[in-house]
Structures are given as structure tokens and as C-alpha cells.
């Protein structure tokens, strides 16, 4: 093998490895945030009515009691300043770590009365009637086998 041929082979291998590394970065890079509508990245949001026409409250972590929370964002819209407890009609999950939003009727850490859950990146504008105005707490969980919105 001549010196020139050996150099070309090494260059071809280096180019191929560079391409593989670049492709691997795209395929295995950090997962992008899942964006739910009208909800900042990393948050689990609840709405007094629809997601585009009512006040919002955003949660970053689990909250075991909505009784002392109010719809404190977009307060010029319907429901601004109202208590979140038993007043959730729409929801959005913009989890940045793949976390599901699980909603319950109970307060405290006993997690009684599971109502529904929302997958990352999903928005439910007007929940089913049976799920509206019932949420009293939120548990942020990793991926589960529960069938969510």
C-alpha cells in the first residue's frame, strides 16, 4: 500500500466515523420537551374553561391539594382568581421529562379517586363531562401503563 492510498483510507474512515457520530447525536440526543398547548415547557397546566379563553394555573411538580391554589395566570380571562379545587375544565401537559399528569378527587398523599391522566405533549381542551370540575390534586408520574389522554 502506498502512502497516498493509506492516507485516503484513513481519511475515509475518519469521515465515516464523523458521519456516524453526527447521526448518533441526532438519533440519541436529548429528547425535546413535549409541548402542550398554552403551557410553558416543563409544566402541567390547568384551565378554568377552555385553554384559549380562560385563566390558567401551572404546576411544575406534584401538588396534593388544590384548595389553596388559584387560577393566577391570564387572570383577565374567565376564572381569573378562582380556586383551582374542583374547577378544572381543560388541561395541558408540557412535560420536559416525559412525565404524565395524573389528577385525583382526593387531597393529600393518599392519591384517592383517580379521575384521568394526560400524556406529555397532549392538550385536552374541555375534558369529558365526567372529568370536569372534579380535580383536587395532581400527581406528576413517570410513564405508566394507565390509558391517558
Tell me the per-residue pLDDT of 25-42, one tens digit each, with 9 for 90 and over: 333 334 445 678 899 999
Name the least confident of 9-23, 57-71, 82-96, 125-139: 9-23
Residue ranges and CATH numbers for the domains of the chain are: 43-141 (2.60.20.10)
Residue 136 CB neighbour total at 10 angstroms: 22
Question: Dihedrals φ, ψ of 46, to 5°?
Answer: -120, 150
Which range among 1-5, 105-109, 121-125, 135-139 shows the weakest confidence by mean pLDDT? Answer: 1-5
Q: Which positions ≥6 away from 75 have C-beta within 8 Å?
A: 55, 81
Grouping H, G, I as helix, E, B as strand and the rest as coil, residue 123 is strand
Q: What is the pTM of this model?
A: 0.77
User: Which is nearest to 95 in space by CA: 49, 144, 46, 61?
Assistant: 61
The string of pLDDT tens digits covering residues 61-117 is: 999 999 999 999 999 999 999 999 999 999 999 998 889 999 999 999 889 999 999
| pLDDT computed for residue 14 by the predictor | 46
Amino acid at each position: 500500500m502506498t502512502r497516498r492510498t493509506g492516507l485516503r483510507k484513513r481519511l475515509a474512515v475518519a469521515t465515516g466515523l464523523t458521519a456516524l457520530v453526527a447521526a448518533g447525536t441526532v438519533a440519541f440526543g436529548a429528547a425535546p420537551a413535549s409541548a402542550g398547548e398554552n403551557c410553558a415547557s416543563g409544566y402541567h397546566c390547568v384551565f378554568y374553561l377552555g385553554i384559549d379563553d380562560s385563566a390558567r394555573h401551572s404546576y411544575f411538580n406534584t401538588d396534593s391539594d388544590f384548595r389553596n391554589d388559584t387560577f393566577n395566570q391570564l387572570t383577565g380571562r374567565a376564572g381569573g382568581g378562582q380556586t383551582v379545587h374542583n374547577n378544572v375544565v381543560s388541561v395541558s401537559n408540557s412535560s420536559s421529562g416525559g412525565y404524565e399528569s395524573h389528577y385525583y378527587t382526593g387531597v393529600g398523599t393518599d392519591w384517592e379517586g383517580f379521575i384521568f391522566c394526560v400524556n406529555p405533549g397532549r392538550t385536552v381542551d374541555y375534558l369529558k363531562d365526567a372529568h370536569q370540575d372534579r380535580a383536587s390534586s395532581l400527581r406528576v408520574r413517570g410513564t405508566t401503563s394507565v390509558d391517558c389522554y
